[in-house]
């Protein structure tokens, strides 16, 4: 079977290599004004801290010699600056170094963490504005993984890793300058040693970043399996498949832990190679110091400072190896965060040209007309509604029927502009729905779903989401749906503390308050008692009598109350007429 035409709904996580990692990191730093502003001061503080550490070691050695000779003369530092070694001078210098390091940490790392919160907000806005099919391609586990893991890692660890890498590089340069006083040979050999370190990191970094992406993907798999446990444990228990569920979760956790072991192995090999290079370089420096002191070209104090710096090379290279590896992981986090930030808006993925004409802010009520309209859910998937032409008179009550897959949901989603348009137009009155801002188009349509969803808050916040109406208006809406509840009554997420009928009536009150001219109802009376059913029908005849009602209906008694019935079949109109003409010819399958 050819895979060329098969449809892949779930996007595969890829590592993308490490190409452009530093460009991504610069975009990250440049995208946070605070970090961009603090970059040069942080570099300056790092240089002061590294140079001050070397001066501190030099003064310690000089002070030791002075104590032995009981004579501490002023010592020349640089550019004519002199300093008399003393315990007080060392204490002040140590305090200054501590303050510089704290300032560097607070300014760049802590401030950068606070400022990086904007990337999380940009991700939320970007994902909130994507096409609905995005959530078919990226299941909840992957989306949560990006928000919980990648965005948080970029926010918390990004500034720390960049700051640590800057400090390590500056300290390495400072130590190399000090070592160069031992011998020109030591200074020359420092370059190939550093190039060897770069070579090791260049080969290790892609592996670490690839492991990071694999680990993140494995973490997403763990989230999926935990969802199985939370949502599907009863089904597994019913079919006696609990061992299979446990095996799935255990396997996902094991594959996630494998990535940690692999990362540790790669880092250990990188450290070993770097340590070998540093050990070789340190041996050469020690030999240069020995011959310098022996020949009288180096003082003992300077020799001690150089040897101390050489011994610190191993620690610096080791820390730099660690921080560079983590820095490339941060680049991987940044890549995945920016992938979500750069998601195209749903308007750009609709398949229609952006609106170019001015659309009135107030759209007059009118008929809904599908004009030779064709749609699919993606640009590369089969057409669902094909060359559909139909007009629904404003203020009428229309029932949509048809077999499963006939196109009823596609018809409704087209009104909400959640699909890919292949051709034609949808007009509301004299205005094209496809040529107005998408928010304006959706503001024309209210919905009462079959399984109504309420938000955590109060009755008031659920009926009036934008807090635009007075209490009198809200209480009047509740009176019309015959629901006696206080506006401040608490509502749990999903409305779990309310019955299905109460949730349905609250959704209906929300529709009344919204005053949107078109109302879509997905068989709202299924699953409710006869009293609630009667209330809903009464509201349709009274409070919503002037609205255009489009109902996806599955029950004959609901259809009998409609002004018109449209039967869809394979994305086209099969029958269209009054209930008395259509109902006798409907089969049970067509009401499914």
The answer to whether the CB of 355 falls within 8 A of the CB of 36 is no
The answer to whether the CB of 19 falls within 8 A of the CB of 140 is no
Instruction: Tell me the domains of the chain and their CATH numbers.
Output: 21-345 (1.20.1560.10), 396-406+438-591 (3.40.50.300)
Of residues 92, 96, 112, the one with CA closest to residue 42 = 112
Q: 189 to each of 176, 180, 186, 384, 572, how far by Cα in Å?
A: 10, 10, 5, 70, 78
The answer to whether the CB of 56 falls within 8 A of the CB of 77 is no
Check residue 463 and give its pLDDT: 92
* Residue 528 DSSP one-character state: S
The answer to whether the CB of 505 falls within 8 A of the CB of 474 is no
Q: What is the pTM of this model?
A: 0.66
- What does the block give as tokens for 477? 């809406």
Check residue 190 and give its pLDDT: 67
What is the CA 125 to chain-centroid distance, rounded? 9
Check residue 70 and give its pLDDT: 54
Strand ranges inside 312-366, DSSP E: none
Q: How far apart are CA 514 and CA 516, in angstroms?
A: 5
Q: To the nearest 10°, the Cα dihedral for 80, 83, 84, 90? A: -170
The answer to whether the CB of 18 falls within 8 A of the CB of 208 is no
- What does the block give as tokens for 397? 């009550």
The answer to whether the CB of 309 falls within 8 A of the CB of 58 is no
Check residue 1 and give its pLDDT: 35
Per-10-residue mean pLDDT of the chain, 592 residues long, equals: 39 55 83 75 77 73 63 61 71 82 73 78 87 76 78 82 80 72 65 75 74 75 68 70 78 83 82 78 76 74 70 71 76 86 86 69 80 91 93 93 89 92 91 88 88 88 89 92 91 86 90 91 75 86 91 83 91 91 80 65
DSSP 26-89: HHHHHTSHHHHHHHHHHHHHHHHHHHHHHHHHHHHHHHHHHHHHT----EE-STT-EE---HHH
The answer to whether the CB of 540 falls within 8 A of the CB of 563 is no
**343-366 burial, b for 16+ CB within 10 Å, e for fewer?**
beebeebbbbeebeeeeeeebeeb
């Amino acid at each position: 079977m050819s895979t060329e035409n098969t449809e892949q709904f779930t996007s595969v996580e890829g590592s993308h290599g490490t190409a452009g990692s530093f460009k991504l990191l610069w975009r990250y730093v440049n995208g946070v004004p605070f970090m961009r502003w603090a970059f040069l001061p942080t570099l300056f503080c790092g240089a002061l801290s590294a140079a001050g550490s070397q001066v501190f070691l030099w003064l310690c050695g000089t002070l030791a010699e002075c104590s032995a000779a009981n004579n501490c003369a002023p010592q020349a530092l640089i550019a004519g600056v002199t300093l008399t070694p003393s315990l007080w001078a060392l204490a002040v210098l140590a305090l200054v170094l501590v303050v510089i390091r704290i300032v560097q940490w607070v300014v760049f790392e802590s401030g950068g963490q606070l400022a990086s919160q904007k990337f999380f907000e940009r991700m939320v806005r970007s994902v909130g504005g994507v096409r609905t099919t995005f959530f078919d391609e990226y299941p909840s586990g992957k989306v949560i993984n990006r928000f919980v893991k990648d965005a948080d890692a970029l926010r918390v660890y990004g500034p720390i890793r960049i700051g640590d890498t800057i400090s390590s590089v500056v300290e390495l340069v400072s130590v190399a300058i000090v070592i160069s006083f031992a011998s020109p040979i030591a200074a020359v050999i420092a370059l190939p040693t550093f190039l060897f370190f770069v070579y090791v990191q260049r080969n290790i970094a892609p592996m670490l970043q690839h492991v990071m992406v694999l680990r993140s993907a494995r973490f997403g798999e763990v989230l999926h399996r935990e969802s199985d446990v939370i949502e599907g444990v009863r089904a597994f228990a019913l079919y006696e498949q609990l061992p299979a569920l446990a095996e799935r979760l255990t396997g996902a956790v094991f594959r996630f832990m494998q990535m940690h072991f692999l990362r540790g192995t790669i880092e250990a090999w990188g450290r070993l190679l770097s340590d070998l290079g540093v050990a070789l370089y340190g041996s050469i420096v020690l030999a240069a110091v020995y011959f310098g002191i022996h020949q009288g070209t180096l003082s003992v104090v300077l020799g001690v400072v150089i040897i101390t710096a050489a011994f610190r090379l191993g620690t610096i290279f080791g820390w730099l190896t660690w921080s560079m590896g983590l820095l490339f992981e941060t680049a991987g986090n940044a890549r995945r965060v920016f992938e979500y930030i750069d998601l195209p808006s749903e308007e750009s993925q609709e398949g229609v040209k952006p609106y170019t004409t001015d659309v009135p802010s107030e759209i007059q009520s009118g008929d809904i007309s599908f004009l030779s309209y064709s749609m699919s859910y993606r640009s590369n998937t089969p057409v669902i509604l094909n060359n559909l032409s139909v007009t629904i008179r404003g203020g009428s009550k229309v029932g949509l029927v048809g077999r499963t897959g006939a196109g009823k949901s596609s018809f409704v989603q087209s009104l909400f502009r959640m699909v890919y348009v292949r051709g034609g137009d949808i007009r509301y009155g004299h205005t094209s729905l496809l040529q107005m801002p998408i928010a304006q188009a959706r503001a024309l349509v209210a919905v009462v779903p079959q399984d109504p969803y309420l938000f955590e808050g109060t009755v008031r916040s659920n009926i009036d989401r934008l807090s635009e109406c007075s209490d009198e208006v809200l209480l009047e809406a509740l009176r019309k749906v015959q629901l006696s509840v206080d506006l401040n009554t608490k509502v749990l997420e999903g409305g779990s503390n309310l019955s299905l009928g109460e949730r349905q009536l609250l959704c209906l009150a929300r529709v009344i308050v919204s005053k949107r001219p078109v109302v879509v109802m997905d068989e709202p009376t299924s699953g409710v008692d006869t009293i609630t059913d009667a209330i809903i029908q009464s509201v349709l005849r009274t409070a919503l009598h002037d609205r255009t009602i489009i109902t996806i209906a599955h029950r004959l008694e609901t259809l009998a109350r409609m002004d018109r019935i449209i039967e869809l079949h394979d994305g086209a109109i099969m029958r269209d007429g009054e209930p008395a003409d259509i109902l006798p010819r409907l089969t049970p399958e067509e009401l499914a």
